[in-house]
Structures are given as structure tokens and as C-alpha cells.
A = this chain, B = another copy of it.
Amino acid sequence: MRIIRDIKKMQRIAGGWRRNGQRIGFVPTMGALHEGHLSLVRRARRDNEKVVVSIFVNPAQFAAGEDFKRYPRDLSGDAASCRKEGVDVVFYPQARQMYPPDYKTYVEVRDLSNVLCGKFRPGHFRGVATVVTKLFNIVQPDSAYFGQKDAQQAVIIRHMSRDLNMPLSIEVIPTMRDKDGLAMSSRNSYLSPQERSNAIALNQALRLAEGLVRFGRRDARGIIAELEDFIRRIPGTKIQYLRIVDPDTLAPLAKIKTRALVVLAVYLGKTRLIDNTIVKAKRLCRGD
């Protein structure tokens, strides 16, 4: 396994693979790899001749006052994990090469970027869309792998990739969870033991949503009220948003007719966690 820091060098390697007709699978990450990331890597390994994992804590996707500086970094641990999974190249660029002083170009996916997380993290998804475009041009993958945990990110990247005719496929892989159901996230490391224990509120609320829909509830407003009520009862939680939206357009739904995305962001102390699930309404009877 090679660790490549230089953009042009990575581009040459990827170009060589493509000319050889070798399929490239790509997993873009910010490092601090956990089993969620590794599930993407395994899928990439299974389906491609070459696998590239990028590790880059992208300054452009952190809003002012967010956790850019203290975001966990562990290159040697990450490299060991990648080696174990049979990764071919870890791409580890430097911020000053990715964003030279006269950097000026940004990719924006309208409408989808200023709702949900985007409403509370101004510029976040512009930063994500921009860095992903750059990384795709550098790594030139046939397939790129993203986690469903970041549901809005997945929707935006899919849309961007389609709109800009990027010559690759976007694969979205189910969320990996700890045994008690907490979605894996590099930010879980910020939690105190007490916060970690309370954090299962997010997953439990989503399971409650699934249960309510299974038993016939269809009104988004009523379901949201029940979930909020449930989360508020767990100490140390503060809801940032909780919505039921269309899984493709992220538009709010009044009534669940077929598939719906339940998305939430909740603070545990100072740590902001997100999670989501897709609920499916089966027809209970004609006309329902």
C-alpha cells in the first residue's frame, strides 16, 4: 500500500490504472476511520481492481466556530486499517495544495444544500460538493462510496454527480451501528461516558418512527411530535432539527405515502450528532 500526498502523482497513478482498464473504487474520508468507513472500503475492495481511500479533513466544509481544529486525526492508525483491508493507495493531500492562496472555484447544489444540516452549517455542503469534485478529478474513480449516515450529503453528491455528468457511479452503503444502535461517527469520540450512554436516544427515536409507521401512522407532524417528546425526556439532549422529508428532494412531507426519510440532528452536550432512517408505508387497505 502506498501513501500519496501529491495531487499530480495521484492523478498519474489513477490515469495509468484507467488506461490499463482497471476499475477504481474510491472512498473519500476525513480519516479517524471506524467500522462505518471500513464497510465502504470492503465494498470498494470487492467490486474494483484498485481501491483508493482519501484522508483529508477538508477546511472548506467546516463553518466558523465548528470543530475543524479538534476533529480527530490519526494517520498511522488509519493507514494500518487501510493496509489490513487491502487498500492500494491512501491519498493524503495537504490543505495548501488542495486550496492554494488564490483558490476561487466552488460547486454549489442549490435547494438541497440550505435545508436540514445545511441550514445550520452555512457553506458546509458547498465545501463538500467542491472537495468531492476535486477528489473525483484527482482519483478518477469508476465508483465512489458514501455512507447513508450522512443522508443529505449522499443525496447532494448523487444529484451533483448526475447534474455535472460525472463519469462514475455513486454507491451509498447502509449505516454501521454500535451494539446499542448508536450510528458510528468519528465525532462519537467527543462524548463523555454519560453523553455516550444518552446518545442512544437518536437511534431509539428512529426505531420509534419505524414502529409508528408500521402501525399505520402517516401524519408527519404527529410522528415528529412523538419523537421530539421522546428525545426531550432523555437528559442532556438538545434537538437541532427533526424532519420527515422526501428521500430524493429533501422536501418536507406532510403525509407519508410511500418512502420517507426521517432525519435528525441532536446535541449531546457540545457534541452534535446526526442520524436517519428510511421508513416505508405499506398500504393498509385500499384508498389509504
Q: Which A positions have Cβ atoms within 8 angstroms of B?
A: 7, 11, 15, 18-19, 21, 102-112, 129-130, 133-134, 137-138, 140, 159-160, 163-167, 249
Contacts and interface: CB of A to CB of B under 8 A. Distances in A.
Given A18-B19, A21-B19, A105-B159, A138 B110 contact: no
B110 A163 contact: no
A11 B15 CA distance: 17
Contacts of A165: 7, 11, 134, 137-138
A119 B32 CA distance: 44
A163 B11 CA distance: 14
A107 B133 CA distance: 10
A15 to B, nearest CB: 7
B107 A163 contact: no
Contacts of A15: 167
| Residue among A15, A103, A104, A112 with max Cβ neighbours from chain B (10 Å) | A104
B104 A159 contact: yes
Nearest to A168: B137
Contacts of A137: 164-167
Given A104-B112, A108-B105, A159-B104, A133 B19 contact: no
Given A105-B107, A105-B110, 15 more contacts: A11-B167, A102-B249, A105-B159, A105-B160, A106-B107, A106-B108, A106-B110, A107-B107, A107-B108, A108-B108, A133-B164, A134-B163, A134-B165, A137-B166, A138-B167
A134 B161 CA distance: 10
A140 B142 CA distance: 13
Contacts of A134: 163-165
